[in-house]
Amino acid sequence: MSLNAWDKVKLARHPHRPTSQFVIKSLINDFIELHGDRNFGDDKAIVCGIGTFNGQPITIIAEEKGTSTEDKIFHNFGMPHPEGYRKAMRIMKQAEKFKRPILCIIDTPGAYPGIEAEERGQAQAIASNLEQMIGLKTPIIVLVLSEGGSGGAIAIGVGDHIMMFENSIYAILSPEGFASIVYKDASKAEYAASIMKLTAEDLLNYKIIDFMIPEYEGLHVDPDKSIQDLKIELTKTLKKLSKLSDAKLLDLRYKKYRKIGIFNEIGAAHDQATDD
Protein backbone atom coordinates (compact mmCIF):
# COMPACT_ATOMS: atom_id res chain seq x y z
CA MET A 1 0.00 0.00 0.00
CA SER A 2 1.32 3.41 -0.98
CA LEU A 3 1.54 5.88 1.89
CA ASN A 4 1.43 9.64 1.52
CA ALA A 5 3.37 12.11 3.66
CA TRP A 6 0.58 12.52 6.21
CA ASP A 7 0.25 8.75 6.59
CA LYS A 8 3.96 8.66 7.43
CA VAL A 9 3.61 11.51 9.92
CA LYS A 10 0.96 9.46 11.73
CA LEU A 11 3.14 6.33 11.65
CA ALA A 12 6.15 8.28 12.96
CA ARG A 13 3.96 9.27 15.93
CA HIS A 14 2.33 5.87 16.42
CA PRO A 15 2.01 5.11 20.15
CA HIS A 16 3.39 1.58 19.69
CA ARG A 17 6.44 2.66 17.70
CA PRO A 18 9.64 1.66 19.53
CA THR A 19 11.66 4.40 21.20
CA SER A 20 15.40 5.00 21.35
CA GLN A 21 15.87 2.80 24.39
CA PHE A 22 14.51 -0.18 22.43
CA VAL A 23 17.05 0.50 19.67
CA ILE A 24 19.87 0.82 22.20
CA LYS A 25 18.94 -2.52 23.82
CA SER A 26 18.74 -4.15 20.38
CA LEU A 27 22.13 -2.87 19.19
CA ILE A 28 24.38 -2.21 22.15
CA ASN A 29 25.94 -4.55 24.69
CA ASP A 30 27.01 -3.46 28.18
CA PHE A 31 25.36 -0.03 27.87
CA ILE A 32 26.27 2.36 30.68
CA GLU A 33 24.28 5.59 30.90
CA LEU A 34 26.13 8.79 31.73
CA HIS A 35 24.34 11.75 33.32
CA GLY A 36 24.47 15.52 33.63
CA ASP A 37 25.86 18.53 31.83
CA ARG A 38 28.19 19.49 34.73
CA ASN A 39 26.44 22.84 34.81
CA PHE A 40 22.72 22.66 35.58
CA GLY A 41 21.31 19.14 35.70
CA ASP A 42 20.47 15.90 33.94
CA ASP A 43 17.92 16.17 31.13
CA LYS A 44 15.98 12.91 30.84
CA ALA A 45 14.86 13.72 27.28
CA ILE A 46 18.37 12.81 26.09
CA VAL A 47 19.93 9.49 27.05
CA CYS A 48 23.72 9.34 26.69
CA GLY A 49 26.15 6.54 27.38
CA ILE A 50 28.76 4.09 26.19
CA GLY A 51 28.66 0.43 25.23
CA THR A 52 29.86 -1.96 22.57
CA PHE A 53 28.58 -2.76 19.09
CA ASN A 54 30.04 -5.91 17.53
CA GLY A 55 32.72 -5.73 20.21
CA GLN A 56 33.66 -2.14 19.32
CA PRO A 57 33.29 0.64 21.92
CA ILE A 58 30.70 3.22 20.84
CA THR A 59 29.06 6.32 22.29
CA ILE A 60 25.28 6.72 22.10
CA ILE A 61 23.40 10.04 22.13
CA ALA A 62 19.64 9.44 21.97
CA GLU A 63 16.47 11.45 22.31
CA GLU A 64 13.94 9.44 24.29
CA LYS A 65 10.16 10.01 24.23
CA GLY A 66 9.18 7.33 26.72
CA THR A 67 6.51 4.63 26.45
CA SER A 68 3.89 4.70 29.22
CA THR A 69 2.26 7.95 30.31
CA GLU A 70 4.49 8.12 33.37
CA ASP A 71 7.57 7.38 31.29
CA LYS A 72 6.67 10.03 28.72
CA ILE A 73 6.34 12.64 31.46
CA PHE A 74 9.68 11.52 32.95
CA HIS A 75 11.38 11.99 29.55
CA ASN A 76 9.44 15.22 28.79
CA PHE A 77 8.00 13.56 25.66
CA GLY A 78 11.45 13.65 24.06
CA MET A 79 11.70 17.45 24.09
CA PRO A 80 15.17 18.40 25.40
CA HIS A 81 16.10 21.40 27.52
CA PRO A 82 19.44 23.15 26.86
CA GLU A 83 21.15 21.07 29.55
CA GLY A 84 20.28 18.00 27.46
CA TYR A 85 22.20 19.34 24.49
CA ARG A 86 25.09 20.37 26.73
CA LYS A 87 25.14 16.88 28.23
CA ALA A 88 25.18 15.43 24.72
CA MET A 89 28.15 17.59 23.73
CA ARG A 90 30.02 16.69 26.92
CA ILE A 91 29.68 13.00 26.09
CA MET A 92 30.56 13.58 22.42
CA LYS A 93 33.79 15.30 23.43
CA GLN A 94 34.56 12.34 25.66
CA ALA A 95 34.03 10.08 22.64
CA GLU A 96 36.43 12.21 20.61
CA LYS A 97 39.05 12.01 23.37
CA PHE A 98 38.89 8.21 23.51
CA LYS A 99 38.44 7.73 19.74
CA ARG A 100 34.96 6.19 20.03
CA PRO A 101 32.51 6.56 17.13
CA ILE A 102 29.20 8.25 17.97
CA LEU A 103 25.68 7.09 17.14
CA CYS A 104 23.06 9.83 17.49
CA ILE A 105 19.43 8.68 17.56
CA ILE A 106 16.94 11.43 16.74
CA ASP A 107 13.37 11.16 17.99
CA THR A 108 11.81 14.45 19.06
CA PRO A 109 8.90 16.70 18.07
CA GLY A 110 11.28 19.59 18.82
CA ALA A 111 13.30 21.25 21.53
CA TYR A 112 11.29 22.15 24.63
CA PRO A 113 9.73 25.62 24.02
CA GLY A 114 9.17 26.59 27.66
CA ILE A 115 10.28 29.86 29.24
CA GLU A 116 12.79 28.11 31.51
CA ALA A 117 14.48 26.52 28.50
CA GLU A 118 14.83 29.90 26.84
CA GLU A 119 16.17 31.40 30.06
CA ARG A 120 18.87 28.74 30.21
CA GLY A 121 19.97 29.32 26.61
CA GLN A 122 18.08 26.89 24.39
CA ALA A 123 19.03 28.54 21.09
CA GLN A 124 22.64 28.99 22.13
CA ALA A 125 22.93 25.34 23.18
CA ILE A 126 21.61 24.15 19.82
CA ALA A 127 23.86 26.50 17.85
CA SER A 128 26.89 25.51 19.93
CA ASN A 129 26.29 21.82 19.24
CA LEU A 130 26.08 22.46 15.49
CA GLU A 131 29.33 24.40 15.57
CA GLN A 132 31.19 21.80 17.61
CA MET A 133 29.85 18.65 15.92
CA ILE A 134 31.11 19.75 12.52
CA GLY A 135 34.66 19.63 13.92
CA LEU A 136 34.60 16.52 16.14
CA LYS A 137 37.47 14.23 15.21
CA THR A 138 35.57 10.96 15.43
CA PRO A 139 32.98 9.31 13.16
CA ILE A 140 29.38 10.43 13.75
CA ILE A 141 26.45 8.37 12.48
CA VAL A 142 22.93 9.80 12.73
CA LEU A 143 19.71 7.77 12.82
CA VAL A 144 16.27 9.38 12.56
CA LEU A 145 14.09 6.87 14.39
CA SER A 146 10.63 8.48 14.23
CA GLU A 147 10.23 12.26 14.47
CA GLY A 148 13.03 14.65 13.62
CA GLY A 149 11.62 18.03 14.51
CA SER A 150 13.32 21.40 14.05
CA GLY A 151 16.37 22.50 16.06
CA GLY A 152 15.56 19.82 18.59
CA ALA A 153 16.66 17.28 16.00
CA ILE A 154 19.53 19.01 14.24
CA ALA A 155 21.24 19.78 17.56
CA ILE A 156 22.44 16.16 17.52
CA GLY A 157 22.06 15.71 13.76
CA VAL A 158 25.42 16.67 12.24
CA GLY A 159 27.00 13.47 11.00
CA ASP A 160 29.13 11.68 8.44
CA HIS A 161 26.36 9.21 7.56
CA ILE A 162 22.65 9.96 8.07
CA MET A 163 20.01 7.23 8.09
CA MET A 164 16.24 7.31 8.44
CA PHE A 165 13.69 4.59 9.00
CA GLU A 166 11.23 4.42 6.11
CA ASN A 167 8.27 5.89 8.00
CA SER A 168 10.18 8.51 9.97
CA ILE A 169 10.02 12.23 9.27
CA TYR A 170 12.64 15.00 9.39
CA ALA A 171 11.77 18.67 8.93
CA ILE A 172 12.29 22.25 10.03
CA LEU A 173 9.14 22.03 12.20
CA SER A 174 5.96 20.00 12.56
CA PRO A 175 3.32 20.08 9.81
CA GLU A 176 0.98 21.71 12.35
CA GLY A 177 3.54 24.42 13.05
CA PHE A 178 4.17 24.93 9.33
CA ALA A 179 0.43 25.25 8.64
CA SER A 180 -0.02 27.66 11.54
CA ILE A 181 2.74 29.95 10.31
CA VAL A 182 2.18 29.79 6.55
CA TYR A 183 -1.60 29.36 6.37
CA LYS A 184 -2.59 30.68 9.82
CA ASP A 185 -4.51 27.42 10.25
CA ALA A 186 -3.11 24.33 12.01
CA SER A 187 -5.92 22.22 10.56
CA LYS A 188 -4.12 22.39 7.19
CA ALA A 189 -1.32 20.22 8.57
CA GLU A 190 -2.06 17.36 6.19
CA TYR A 191 -1.64 19.63 3.18
CA ALA A 192 1.48 21.16 4.72
CA ALA A 193 3.00 17.69 5.12
CA SER A 194 2.43 17.02 1.42
CA ILE A 195 4.66 19.92 0.36
CA MET A 196 7.31 19.90 3.13
CA LYS A 197 9.42 17.04 1.69
CA LEU A 198 9.81 15.55 5.16
CA THR A 199 9.76 11.81 4.42
CA ALA A 200 12.80 9.55 4.24
CA GLU A 201 12.13 8.92 0.55
CA ASP A 202 12.05 12.66 -0.17
CA LEU A 203 15.24 13.36 1.73
CA LEU A 204 17.06 10.42 0.17
CA ASN A 205 16.11 11.71 -3.30
CA TYR A 206 17.46 15.14 -2.35
CA LYS A 207 20.67 13.51 -1.02
CA ILE A 208 20.18 15.08 2.39
CA ILE A 209 20.28 11.62 3.96
CA ASP A 210 22.45 8.69 2.91
CA PHE A 211 20.34 5.61 3.60
CA MET A 212 16.70 4.63 4.18
CA ILE A 213 16.00 1.57 6.34
CA PRO A 214 12.92 -0.35 5.17
CA GLU A 215 10.17 -0.98 7.71
CA TYR A 216 8.24 -3.85 6.06
CA GLU A 217 5.05 -4.08 8.19
CA GLY A 218 6.11 -1.03 10.20
CA LEU A 219 8.24 -0.58 13.32
CA HIS A 220 5.05 -0.47 15.42
CA VAL A 221 4.13 -3.98 14.21
CA ASP A 222 7.41 -5.89 13.98
CA PRO A 223 10.68 -3.95 14.34
CA ASP A 224 13.07 -6.92 14.38
CA LYS A 225 13.72 -7.21 10.63
CA SER A 226 14.30 -3.45 10.31
CA ILE A 227 16.66 -3.52 13.30
CA GLN A 228 18.62 -6.28 11.57
CA ASP A 229 18.92 -4.10 8.45
CA LEU A 230 20.08 -1.25 10.70
CA LYS A 231 22.77 -3.48 12.21
CA ILE A 232 24.05 -4.40 8.75
CA GLU A 233 24.21 -0.77 7.60
CA LEU A 234 25.78 0.39 10.86
CA THR A 235 28.45 -2.32 10.68
CA LYS A 236 29.31 -1.41 7.08
CA THR A 237 29.40 2.32 7.80
CA LEU A 238 31.56 2.05 10.92
CA LYS A 239 34.05 -0.08 9.00
CA LYS A 240 34.25 2.49 6.21
CA LEU A 241 34.52 5.56 8.45
CA SER A 242 37.09 3.97 10.78
CA LYS A 243 39.56 3.78 7.89
CA LEU A 244 39.59 7.55 7.39
CA SER A 245 42.15 9.87 8.93
CA ASP A 246 40.86 12.72 11.09
CA ALA A 247 41.68 15.23 8.37
CA LYS A 248 39.87 13.25 5.68
CA LEU A 249 36.86 12.65 7.94
CA LEU A 250 36.47 16.37 8.67
CA ASP A 251 37.01 17.33 5.04
CA LEU A 252 34.28 14.96 3.84
CA ARG A 253 31.91 16.12 6.58
CA TYR A 254 32.46 19.76 5.66
CA LYS A 255 31.90 19.06 1.96
CA LYS A 256 28.77 17.06 2.75
CA TYR A 257 27.12 20.00 4.49
CA ARG A 258 28.37 22.56 2.02
CA LYS A 259 26.78 20.48 -0.74
CA ILE A 260 23.46 20.39 1.13
CA GLY A 261 23.62 24.15 1.71
CA ILE A 262 24.43 24.95 -1.91
CA PHE A 263 21.67 22.61 -3.11
CA ASN A 264 19.14 24.37 -0.90
CA GLU A 265 20.26 27.78 -2.18
CA ILE A 266 19.86 26.60 -5.78
CA GLY A 267 16.45 25.09 -4.94
CA ALA A 268 15.29 28.33 -3.32
CA ALA A 269 16.44 30.36 -6.32
CA HIS A 270 14.65 27.97 -8.68
CA ASP A 271 11.43 28.18 -6.65
CA GLN A 272 11.62 31.98 -6.65
CA ALA A 273 12.15 32.07 -10.41
CA THR A 274 9.21 29.70 -10.90
CA ASP A 275 6.99 31.89 -8.71
CA ASP A 276 8.01 34.98 -10.63
Dump pLDDT digits (tens) for 115-161: 999 999 999 999 999 999 999 999 999 999 999 998 899 999 999 99
Amino acid occupying residue 263: F
**What amino acid occupies position 216?**
Y
- pTM tops 0.75: yes
Sign of CA pseudo-dihedral 90, 94, 97, 102:
negative
Q: Is 42 exposed, middle or buried (0-12, 13-18, 19+ CB in 10 A)?
A: middle
- pLDDT at res. 269: 47
pLDDT of residue 266: 44
Counting as low any pLDDT under 70, the low residues of the chain are 1, 261-276
Check residue 143 and give its pLDDT.
Answer: 97
pLDDT in the model for residue 264: 56
Which 3 state secondary structure label does DSSP give 138? coil
| H or E element that contains 175 | helix 175-182
Give the Cβ contact number of residue 76 at 10 Å: 21
Q: How many CB atoms lie within 10 A of CB 264?
A: 12
Please, what's the largest Cα pairwise distance for the chain? 58
Residue 28 CA to residue 58 CA, distance in Å, equals 8
Report the C-alpha dihedral over residues 196, 160, 64, 89, rounded to 10 degrees. -120
- How far apart, in whole angstroms, are the C-alpha atoms of residue 249 and residue 17? 33
